[in-house]
Each structure stands twice: as C-alpha cells, then as structure tokens.
Amino acid sequence: MREQGLVGIEDYLDYSKHIRKQSEHTINAYKRDLDAASQWFADQELNDFTIGHRDLRAYLAFCTNRGLSPRTINRRFSALRSYSRYWVRVRGRAKAGLDAAVGLIRSIRTKKRLPEFLFPKEMETLLSENPAAESRGTQPPWMQSRDNALWEIMYSTGCRVSETAAMTLGSFNSGTSRMKVLGKGQKQRFVFLGQPARAALEEYLVYRRAFLRRMRVDHDYLWVNNHGNPLSVRGIQYLLEKRLQGMNVQKHLSPHGIRHSFATHILNNGADIRVVQELLGHKNLSTTQVYTHLNLNRLRDTYNQAHPHGQRRERKDHGKT
C-alpha cells in the first residue's frame, strides 16, 4: 500500500536548495505550503498518484473555507505546480494523478497591492542619528552605530533583507563605493553606497571589531546581534519595528519597505527603469514595473491638487459621501 500524502517533498526541497539555489526563505515557504497540502491529502487517504481534479477542487474549497487569503491559496497551488514539474522534468516520473490535475486549477484573481514605502522626509527621520532618543533607552554606542549603518546600507543599495543579513566583510571594499551581494538564485550583482552609507558603515566596522573582540567571537558576517552572533532576518525586522515605534510612523512597514522606498525615490528622480531593474536584481522587468504605478499615483494626486478640474472633481466626490 502506498504512503498517503505527498511523498516526495524532501527530494524536491533538496533539489530546490542545492541545484536551483533558492533562498532559505523560499525553501521554508515551499515546505510549509507542501506540508499543509500533504496533511490534507493524507487525511483524505490520497497520494501523488491518486489525487484527481476533484480532489484539488476540494482542497481549494477547504483553503477558502478556512479563510485563507487569495494570495496564500495561490502560493500553495504554485508550490504544488512546482513540486509536480520537478518530478516530471527533473526526475522523469510523472506523479500521475497530481500532474494531470494541478495544471487545471487556475490562480485566483487578486487585487494588485502597491508596495508600502516611506516618503523622503520619513526616510530622513529613519536615517537620522537618534530619532526619538528616549525610546532607545540605554542602547550602547556600538548598537546605535550598527543600526544607523544598517538603515543607511539598506536604503543606499535597495537590497532585500535576506541579502542584507547575508552580507560579510568581503562584501565591502573600503576603497570603492560599491558592494557585492548574492541575490536570488545565488546570482551576484553590485550595488552602490552613497557617502552617508559609506561613512556610517566605516564607523560601525570600528565598533564591530572592538565588540567581537570583547565577546571573543570571530566570524565574517557584517551585521551582529548583542551576543556577537550574525544578525538574522527576523532580528532586522525587529530592529525596524522598534525604530518605527520611536518615529511614531503609522505604517506597517517591513524591511522590504526600505527597498520599495529606494526604488520609488530613484524612479521619481528620473532613473531609467531598466537601471532600477539591475540595481534591484529583478529577473523580469514586469517585477520592477510595479513602481511605475507609484509614479502614476503621484502624478494623479498632483493633477488633482493642481488642476482646476481635478480639484472640482475632488470636491464633488466629497459631497457624495
């Protein structure tokens, strides 16, 4: 009797990690989504070879009834498609039932969500030496220096939070204004540091060296926590949450929002979209084009504020509420 559920998940994840060079974040997301699907199929006494179109429709209904968002459901089915393709294209073995059925399930339409970002003045506050000093309490100087350098680097380079956490001493050459980062799929690209970012980083490196010597810790990771260990993605998220609380910014901003701010600001200042694509490390131009929507919204708001007809339409709209 065959094992129930999806029985080839570990093989697929191993391939994704070591051959496709996908990030730890992506691997963990695939694992969560596939494990959840596998458990449901096992409860229905189904496996890769017996799953049919009706079963996938039933799983879709189950996800919907649980209140999962369309984006989450789409992500789960995307993981199933990727898992199925691996067995067909790489292993040459179709998971008969699943392979035939999964392609028939279409993605749910979702409303396009514009990325959250900070306006330039908000970003200036984030990057200032000591926003809301009272909220930072007795934070030691090395930690203040680290945080200042961290936000400067993220805003100057537009790096993903995972790329930032993975930076090492070898990523930065003090004789140049560029850094080397490893992006998705282990693809290398160069990003650039403005003068404030370079100055903040060089100051932090002095503090970092002394702190690690005191902690008797030795490694090459650029960013460190209060134990001297490498700063994790979650650690960076936590630091940003605390920083925003001190600023009293009413936005649910993740570290990715700094990347969004970088892209939005340089596009608004006239950067070519293909240059921005390269700086962000996007494989497809369509991924970068979401930031042009932010520009269009800015143009629309400017029109509504400045054009007499735009102002008149706004007043009428207010009158209807």
Examine the pLDDT at 240 and tell me if it is beyond 60.
Answer: yes
Q: How confident is the model at residue 66 (pLDDT cuts 50, 70, 90)?
A: very high
Q: Where in the chain is the domain with CATH 1.10.443.10?
A: 120-288
Cα(311)–Cα(321) distance, integer angstroms = 16
Q: Where in the chain is the domain with CATH 1.10.150.130?
A: 9-102
pLDDT per residue as tens digits for the range 250-285: 677 889 999 999 999 998 888 889 999 999 999 888
Rounded average pLDDT over 54-67: 93
Active-site annotation, residues: 160, 184, 256, 259, 282, 291
Examine the pLDDT at 105 and tell me if it is beyond 60.
Answer: yes
For the ranges 49-53, 86-90, 106-110, 120-124, which has the lowest average pLDDT? Answer: 106-110
CA distances from 110 to 74, 75, 295 (A): 9, 12, 21
How much is the pLDDT for 321? 43
Examine the pLDDT at 198 and tell me if it is beyond 50.
Answer: yes
Q: How confident is the model at residue 22 (pLDDT cuts 50, 70, 90)?
A: confident
CB 165 within 8 A of CB 230: yes
- Give me the torsion for CA of 204, 208, 211, 217, rounded to 10°: 170
More confidently predicted of 53 and 305: 53
Kindly report the CATH number that applies to the domain delimited by 9-102. 1.10.150.130
How much is the pLDDT for 247? 78
Report, at the CATH architecture level, how domain 120-288 is classified.
Orthogonal Bundle (1.10)
